[in-house]
Each structure stands twice: as C-alpha cells, then as structure tokens.
Amino acid sequence: MSSSIETLVNKEYAYGFVTDIESDTIPRGLTEETIRAISAKKDEPEWLLDWRLKAFRRWLTMTEPHWPNVTYAPIDYQAQTYYSAPKSVKPLQSLDEVDPELLRTYEKLGISLTEQKRLSGVAVDAIFDSVSVGTTMKKELSAVGVVFCSFGEAVHSHPELVKKYLGSVVPYSDNFFAALNSAVFSDGSFVYVPKGVKCPLELSTYFRINAADTGQFERTLIVAEEGASVSYLEGCTAPKRATNQLHAAVVEIVALDDSSVKYSTVQNWYAGDENGVGGIYNFVTKRGKAFTNAKISWTQVETGSAITWKYPSVILQGDNSVGEFYSVAVVNNHQQADTGTKMIHIGKNTKSTIISKGISAGKGQNSYRGQVKVLPKAENARNYTQCDSMLIGNACGAHTFPYIEVANPTATLEHEASTSKIGEDQIFYCKSRGLNAEHAISLIVAGFCKEVFKELPMEFALEAQQLLGISLEGSVG
C-alpha cells in the first residue's frame, strides 16, 4: 500500500474528548442488587423490576456467543459499571435547565440542543452515559400525538404502551447480549406514533458514552400504529479511552398494519487506536416486526467501534410486508465488524431488500453475515441481496457469510456479491484531474456507498459522508 493511502486512512478520532462532569455511578459488578439499584434509581414499577430480574436469571444460564468472525479477550462482566449518570440531571422542565457543560459537549459534537440553534425539522433526544439529558421539539410533536421521550420517562408517562410492547419483538431470552441489556438497561428512546399520523419531524437520538469502564445499555422502542409513519435516526460517539467499553443495546420496532418505519444509524463509537488498544465493543440486537402491508427499513453507516456484532433484522409477519436493510460498514486499523441482517419471511407476498457495502482498510476485518429465511406459508416471497466489499491496502480482509433457508417453492431469491480494491491508479487518475488524494478517496468511497447514502434522510446524508471521510480521511466535496 502506498504511503499516500496509509496516511490518509489514519486520521485522529475527533470526538475522543472527555467531559469533566460529576457523575452518580453505582459500584462495579453485576448481581441482583445491581439491578435492584438501577431500577430504584429510575423509580420503576414492580413489573419492570420483575422483568429485569427474570432477564438476569436467564442471562446467568447463557454463554457469550463466539460464532461471530471476531476475536477479543474475554470480557469480565463483574469489572464493568452498569449505571452512570451526570449528577445534575433531574427531571427538567426545559432545556434551559440542562447543565451547560453537557450542552457544550453536544455543541462540540455538532448537536445543538439549544432552542435557537437546533436543526430545523429534527427533534433530538440526547443520551449521556446512562440517561437522557433532554429532548427537543416536544411541543411540536405532542400537537399531533407523537410521543418522543426517553425510555425512563415513558415508563412513567405511558406504562401501558411500554408494558404491552417491551420484549414483544426481542424477548429477554433472545440472546446473551439482549438478556444482559434487558437486565441492566438504563435509558434509551421511546417513540409512539398514533394511528394514521405521519410524524412531521425527523426524530433523532444522540448517544454519548462519557464515563470510564461504564457500559452503555440503551433500550429503544418504536411503535407505529396502523397507517402511521416515522423516520428515526441515531448517532453515537465516545471518548478515547485505553480500555474497552461495552455497549449492548436493544432496539425494537413494532410496525402495525399499513405503517412505515425508517430507522437510520450513524455509528461512530471510538474504534481504538492504531494498535487496537481501547475502543467500544458494540454488541447490539435490533429487530422489527412488520405487520400487514407494513414496511421497516434499516439504514446504517457504521464507522466506529473496536468490535461490531450487529444484525438489524425484520420479521415479515404480515402479508405484503416489506423489509429493507442498507448498510455501509467501515473497518480500519484493528477494527473488526461482523454485521448484516436477518429477513424472516412469514406472510404472503413479503419482500425484502439487502444492500450491504463493506469497506476494509488497515488491518481491519469486515464480515457480512446475512440470513434470508422463507417459511412454508410465505407464498411468493421475494428477496434481493447485494453484497459488495471494497479493500484499501493489502492487510485487511472482507468475508461474506450468507445463509439462505427456503421452505416455500414459490419464493424468488437473488444474491449478488462483488469485491473490489481502491487502487493507486484510481487515486492517481483523480489527482491528475486536480483532486487531492483525500478528495479522491472520499469520492471513490462515496461512489461505492451511493446506493446506501441515498436512503439516509437528507439532513444526515452529508453528515454520513463526512463521517466516512473522517474514518478513511477526506471530506466529500
């Protein structure tokens, strides 16, 4: 690999700063007491504590999965801290009451929570370590009946909805990390869009891990009633720390008849340094259930984390339901990603699309793992899968693990895959036309990822391109 590419793909992580703020942290370790303490801090009802404890007991019987194509030292779950919150956070009447230090943190990250400067057309919920520090645009949303608040708040304001849907798509027994999350989750976002309502704003949650050795276990629940539609985006960053931090989130989407949910992720957790020291372990379970004529679309741009283990999936429960997965995953230095999707076709005439773009640089290892399953009653199910890998340099790797299970002969499945390499020739070609190498790489990568970027909400497409530029260096002009 030429020195020009090498220097360009190794740019410093810009979000690695630490906010100096007093935290309320519970002691390290994980026992039933830890869970009771978390539940008590959040003043939760009995049923939720019971649910957490059931999840914890189940978790104790489970073993960490080692089938992903990633390697890392054993995680000591007793050495982690499971709850940390900025001390100043109390129930807030308005964003004016948010600790200025926190507001400055989000300003630095390019997320403005202050009323005057906020991005028009976007409502933001900001999660700092374990708790939500503020949600913007609440008034505008409540006018049409949309609920957008922190999970903790929803437990108190809409207990019947939370009780009805929590665990309905990802049961606490689903997998090791989902069980852990169900036991210790601290906060997250809650979205409810009533029948027939088209949510007038983009909803966005911004996750920030600050405290050291603290896991972030957020839980997000999105419910779209019949005929409703909503577009939701999450962004993530963390400080640079020499130890690995655990992030095990669960996202559940319920898309009732004729509804549509679009969920976009721009994930830029700290990835560790160039020697692979530090970084976030991102073990996430994301799944949606689409009922009759409903549509769930996942779009993700994953550039951060030391290790990523993530398969946003759709259960195509109802007839004519649609599932989509658009993904860009970038690994550089020693990053490892094992990511993809599951599309489970249950209803008739269900349709799924998978577009996956993996970019590997440095010593990064990128695996696509995808499952398409067509059950016996899924007449005329259709799937299209396209899986492309791009290699930058000679020390990285790209792997593809497609699993296809078809139990109905009327199904139509297509799978396409390609692997390409950014060459010195492509870069020289661009340079000979007056573009510098940085510009050239981001142009080539943006071209490669185009089919995914066009699925992002407009406001964020540029941000994602820029993020990709930072990860691999270069900004897209």
Partner 1 sequence: MLKITNLHATAGTKEILKGITLTINAGEVHAIMGPNGSGKSTLAQVIAGHPGYEVTKGSIEYQGKDLLDMEAEERAQAGVFLAFQYPVEIPGVTNAYFLRAAYNELRKARDEDEVDPIEFLDIMEEKLALVEMDATMMQRSVNAGFSGGEKKRNEILQMAVLEPTLAVLDETDSGLDIDALRIVAEGVNKLRSPERSTLVVTHYQRLLNYIVPDHVHVLAGGRIVRSGGKELAHELEEKGYDWLLEPVPA
Half-sphere exposure of 463 (CA within 13 A, CB side): 21
Please give the Cα distance from 267 to 234 (Å, whole number): 8
Virtual torsion, Cα 84, 86, 87, 91, nearest 10 deg: -110
The distance from CA 190 to its chain's CA centroid, rounded to whole angstroms, is 15
Q: How far is CA 443 from CA 101, 177, 407, 465, in A?
A: 37, 37, 42, 10
How many CA atoms lie within 13 Å of 287's alpha carbon, on the beta-carbon side? 19
Contact 356/388 with Cβ under 8 angstroms? yes
Minimum CB–partner distance for residue 465 and partner 1 (Å): 12
Q: Which two tokens stand for residue 370?
A: 């995808």
- The piece of 43-51, 375-383, 442-450, 457-465 that touches partner 1 (CB under 8 A) is 442-450
The reply on whether position 444 binds partner 1 by CB under 8 A is yes
The answer to whether 429 contacts partner 1 (rule: CB under 8 A) is yes
The answer to whether 402 and 434 have CB atoms below 8 angstroms apart is no
For residue 380, state whether it binds partner 1 (rule: CB under 8 A). no
Residue 163: how many other CB atoms lie within 10 Å? 14
**Considering the rule CB under 8 A, would residue 310 count as an interface residue with partner 1?**
no
Structure-token pair, residue 236 = 């993530």
Q: Does 176 bind partner 1 (CB under 8 A)?
A: no
Least CB distance to partner 1 at residue 401 (A): 24
What are the structure tokens assigned to 31, written together? Answer: 């026992």
Taking CB under 8 A as the rule, does residue 269 contact partner 1?
no
Single residue of 407, 414, 436, 462 touching partner 1 by CB under 8 A: 436
Q: Could you say whether residue 168 binds partner 1 (CB under 8 A)?
A: no
**Which range touches partner 1 (CB under 8 A), out of 111-119, 235-243, 250-258, 431-439?**
431-439
Q: Are 333 and 364 in contact (CB under 8 A)?
A: yes
- 94 counts as binding partner 1 under rule CB under 8 A: no
Does residue number 4 form part of the binding site for partner 1 (CB under 8 A)?
Answer: yes
Tell me which stretch binds partner 1 (CB under 8 A): 143-151, 253-261, 306-314, 445-453: 445-453
> Rule CB under 8 A: is residue 425 a binding residue for partner 1?
yes
Among the listed ranges 223-231, 240-248, 249-257, 417-425, the one in contact with partner 1 (CB under 8 A) is 417-425
Binding-site member from 10, 380, 426, 466 for partner 1 (CB under 8 A): 426
Binding site residues, partner 1, CB under 8 A: 2, 4, 420, 423-426, 428-437, 439, 443-444, 446-451, 477
